[in-house]
Amino acid sequence: MEETREDQADGAVARVAAIDIAKASGVVCMRLPHDNIEGRRVQQVWTVASTTNAILELGDRLRIQGVERVVMEATGSYWKPFFYLLEARGLECWLVNAREVKNVPGRPKTDRLDAVWLAKLAERGMVRASFVPPKSVRQLRDLTRTRTAFIQDRTRHKHRAEKLLEDAQIKLSTVVSDLFGVSGRAMLEALAAGERNPRSLADLARGSLVKKREALIEALTGQFEDHHGHLLSVLLDTVDHYTDKIAELDRRIIALLGETTGPRDDDVTDDNTPNPAAGRSGTELIERLDAIPGVGAATAQIILAEVGLDMSRFPSPEHLVSWAKLCPRTIQSGAKNTTGPAGRGNPWLKGALGEAANAAARTDTFLGARYRRIVKRRGHAKALVAVARSILVIAWHLIHNPDARYQDLGADWHQRHLNTTRKTRDLVRQLQALGHQVTLAPAA
């Protein structure tokens, strides 16, 4: 046991515990006020195994000591047992970003010193809690993230099938736009079953591919052997397996969304006002988000799974955008203000929003017009991030406000709200930069 005397900062937590978490154990540092000497802190450090019984015993010990807050770093997925079990014991748990609680450079780094440093930061109120959604949303996250991983794995196996055809000199993908469409899949199954005649394979074409019969015959002429057929059969079975599992996850996600609702009617936000998200189901919110251009049902499900159904955690759309790292980082030094990279953020959310932004950019809507305005001067990548940010802001309003419905402003919104004086000035400057002398006269 070690005793220290340190001044308390404003907003400090009197009784705090911090855990430096590893895979098999965690180092706990508990700091409490001294029983007799005012201003003195009592510090205890010990190691706890990361098993269920050991963590539950730790929770009981912390509760007996009257610990007000337990802080831990987000170390891989090893923090989850500590967070969930201690939270179930009635303790207030904070998950903090490891990047924001680094120790002072040059000092020794051990698990014990890291736990002590984290406890000292926590007791002074110098850490911020990361967003950890409730259990129902965490379960929805598990389902949507698993589905996304399965879709990516299925796509990889489809690419392997195409590489296998190229190895056998089968150029089917140069004629068929979707190798796993109705016609392409029928030809692949026939190849795997032993059919080698290009004309018989070309007869399996359907729809518009019937007109490309000669091109199909030429593309299906190659050196496809039984070895390729066996590998192709394995790949097709794997793709079908992933397809079945994805459909099963889809059904489970829809069922869970129907059971998941917003906070109860008696819940309040941080400013003690009734929560506007109270009682609304996830299915209702999915229908609202689906109205946004570029956002389909699957993307809407990912948005809800990543940000939750309760927007009281994000007081404004700007807070949500900053958390998702869809806005540039501000850098100020003296009179110089610059912007830095946006940051990584939540990869599952940013990936879904990126796909939605890419789809919305091709539409004749407000979001599509926004992309086309920005891409001319900022480039494709920055324009997509700007559209993704707009989609997330719209989603915040649709989730937060029970009466909000999406209504597109129209592709001509910017043109209708154009500042003609500013536009004239910009065009004049461009002509002057090209060496012209400009004289303006009002139109008749």
Q: What pLDDT digit, counting tens, does each position of 206-234 carry?
A: 988 999 999 999 999 999 999 999 999 99
pLDDT(256) > 70: yes
pLDDT(38) > 50: yes
Which is more confidently placed, 346 or 269? 346
Q: What is the mean pLDDT of residues 417-432?
A: 86
Q: Which of the residue ranges 131-145, 273-287, 308-322 would you say has the lowest mean pLDDT?
A: 273-287
pLDDT(340) > 90: no
| H or E, element range at 142 | helix 135-167
Q: Which of the residue ranges 27-31, 107-111, 184-188, 337-341 would you say has the lowest mean pLDDT?
A: 337-341
| Strand runs labelled E in 256-407 | 329-333, 336-340
pLDDT(373) > 70: yes
User: How far does Cα 46 stand from its chain's mean position?
Assistant: 36
Instruction: Name the amino acid, one letter, at 100.
Output: E
User: How far does Cα 114 stand from its chain's mean position?
Assistant: 29
pLDDT(335) > 90: no
% of the chain exceeding 90 in pLDDT? 66
Q: What is the mean pLDDT of residues 28-46?
A: 89
Residue with tokens 């990126």: 354
**Mean pLDDT, the chain, whole residue set:** 88
Q: Which of the residue ranges 49-58, 74-83, 138-147, 226-235 would you say has the lowest mean pLDDT?
A: 74-83
Phi, psi (degrees; rounded to nearest 5) at 115: -65, -40
Q: Which of the residue ranges 23-32, 52-61, 324-333 would you say has the lowest mean pLDDT?
A: 324-333
pLDDT(11) > 60: no
Instruction: Name the amino acid, one letter, at 101.
Output: V
Any idea where the domains of the chain sit in the sequence?
2-123, 138-256, 268-400
- Residue 338: per-residue pLDDT: 81
Residue with tokens 């100020």: 332
User: How far does Cα 374 stand from its chain's mean position?
Assistant: 23
Q: What is the mean pLDDT of residues 106-126?
A: 89
- Residue 4: per-residue pLDDT: 41
pLDDT(10) > 50: no
Beta strands 93-96 and 69-73, pairing class: parallel
Which two three-digit tokens encode residue 71? 């802080």
pLDDT(304) > 90: yes
Q: What is the mean pLDDT of residues 352-361?
A: 96
Judge contact between 342 and 320, C-beta under 8 A: no
- Residue 265: per-residue pLDDT: 43
Q: How confident is the model at residue 99 (pLDDT cuts 50, 70, 90)?
A: confident
DSSP string, 89-138: TT--EEEE-GGGGPPPTTS---HHHHHHHHHHHHHTT---PPP---HHHH
Q: How confident is the model at residue 423 (pLDDT cuts 50, 70, 90)?
A: confident
Q: How confident is the model at residue 330 (pLDDT cuts 50, 70, 90)?
A: confident
Q: How confident is the model at residue 426 (pLDDT cuts 50, 70, 90)?
A: confident
Residue 39, helix vs strand vs coil: coil
pLDDT(300) > 80: yes
What is d(CA 215, CA 187) in angstroms, rounded to the nearest whole number?
14
Region label for 109, one of left (φ > 0), alpha (ψ between -120 and 50) or beta (otherwise): beta
Class of domain 2-123: alpha beta
Instruction: Name the amino acid, one letter, at 280.
Output: R
pLDDT(269) > 80: no
